[in-house]
Structure 1
Amino acid sequence: MEFICDKKDLHDGISIVERIITPRSTLPIIGNILFEANREGLKLSANCLEIGMELTVKAKVAKEGAILLPAKVLSGVVSRLPESAIGFKLAESGMMQISYKQSCFNIHSLPPEEFPALPKVKDGKTFSIPAEVFASMIRQTVFAVSASEDKHVLSGVLFEVGKGDSTGESSNFRLVATDGYRLAKRGEKVDPGSVGKFAVIIPARTLQELSKTLDGKSEDMLKIMVSS
Structure 2
Amino acid sequence: MQFVINRDRFVHSVQHVSKAVSSRTTIPILTGIKIVATKEGVTLTGSDSDISIESFIPTEENDKVLVEVLEEGSIVLQAKYFAEIVKKLPEGQIELSVQDQFATTIRSGSAVFNLNGLDPEEYPRLPQVEEHHVFRLPQDLLKNIIRQTGFAVSTQETRPVLTGVNLTVENEELICTATDSHRLAMRKAKIETNNTELHFENVVIPGKSLSELSKVLEETDQLIDVVVTESQVLFRLNNLLFFSRLLDGKYPVTKNMIPTHSKTEFKIKTKPFLQTLERALLLSREGKNNVINLKTLEEGEIEITSITPEIGKVTEKIKSSDLSGEDLRISFNGKNVIDALKVVDSEEIHIVFTGAMSPFVVRPTEHDLALHLFSPVRTY
TM-score, scaled relative to structure 2: 0.56
For residues 7 and 178 of structure 1, the distance between their equivalents in structure 2, rounded to whole angstroms, comes to 42
Give the CA deviation at 1:125.
Answer: 3.4
- d(CA) in 1 for partners of 2:146 and 2:194? 22
Q: In the alignment, what sits opposite 2:247?
A: none
Q: Report the residue type matching 2:204 in the other structure.
A: I
Assess if the C-alpha contact under 8 Å between 2:141 and 2:221 holds in 1.
no
Q: Which protein is richer in strand relative to its size? A: 2
Task: State the alpha-carbon separation in 2 of the partners of residues 217 and 92 from structure 1.
Answer: 43
Higher mean C-alpha deviation, range 123-132 or range 78-87: 123-132
1:205 corresponds to which residue? Answer: 208
Equivalent residues in 2 for 1:206-221, closer than 5 Å? 206-214=209-217, 216-221=218-223
Q: 1:7, 1:48 → 2: CA distance?
A: 25
SS at 2:42's partner residue? Answer: strand
CA-based RMSD: 1.5
Determine if the alignment matches structure 1 residue 121 to structure 2 residue 115: no
- How far apart are the structure 2 equivalents of 1:84 and 1:191? 40
Equivalent residue number for residue 144 of structure 2: 136
User: Displacement, 1:213?
Assistant: 0.5
Q: Give deviations 1:79-104, integer Å, cap 9, x for gaps.
A: 11111100011112321111123331
Q: Give yes or no for the alignment of 1:30 onto 2:33.
A: no
Partner of 1:227: 229
Q: Distance in 1 between matches of 2:229 and 2:83?
A: 34
Kindly state the Cα deviation for residue 22 of structure 1 after the two structures are TM-superposed.
Answer: 1.4
Residue in structure 1 matched with residue 179 of structure 2 by the alignment: 178
Indicate conservation of the 8 Å contact 2:17/2:45, yes or no: yes
Structure 2 residue runs without a partner (length 5+): 59-66, 231-380
Q: Specify every segment of 5 or more residues in structure 1 that has no aligned partner in the other structure, as ranges.
A: 164-170
Counterpart residue type for residue 39 of structure 1: K
Q: How does 1:51-130 map to 2 (within 5 A)?
A: 51-58=51-58, 59-130=67-138
Work out the CA distance in 2 between the residues paired with 1:186 and 1:134: 10
1:156 aligns with 2:161: no
Amino acid at match of 2:200: F
Distance 2:151 2:221 in 1: 25
Q: What is the SS of the residue equivalent to 2:216?
A: helix
Please state whether the residue corresponding to 2:154 is helix, strand or coil. Answer: coil
Using the TM superposition, give the Cα deviation of residue 183 of structure 1 relative to its aligned residue in structure 2, in angstroms: 0.4
Structure 1 residue runs of 4+, over 4 Å off? none
Greater RCO structure (CA 8 Å; 6+ sep) = 1
Aligned residues: 220
Question: Given that residues 161 and 192 in structure 1 are in contact (C-alpha distance below 8 angstroms), is that contact kept between their aligned partners in structure 2?
Answer: no
- Higher gyration radius (CA): 2
**CA apart distance, 1:15:** 0.8
Deviation at 1:178, TM superposition (A): 0.1
- Distance in 1 of aligned mates of 2:181 and 2:175: 18
1: CA distance, partners of 2:145 / 2:169: 14
- AA in 1 matched with 2:185: A
**Deviations 1:94-132 (CA, angstroms, capped at 9, x unpaired):** 211111233311111111111121111024332210000
Is contact 1:158-1:175 (8 Å) kept?
A: yes
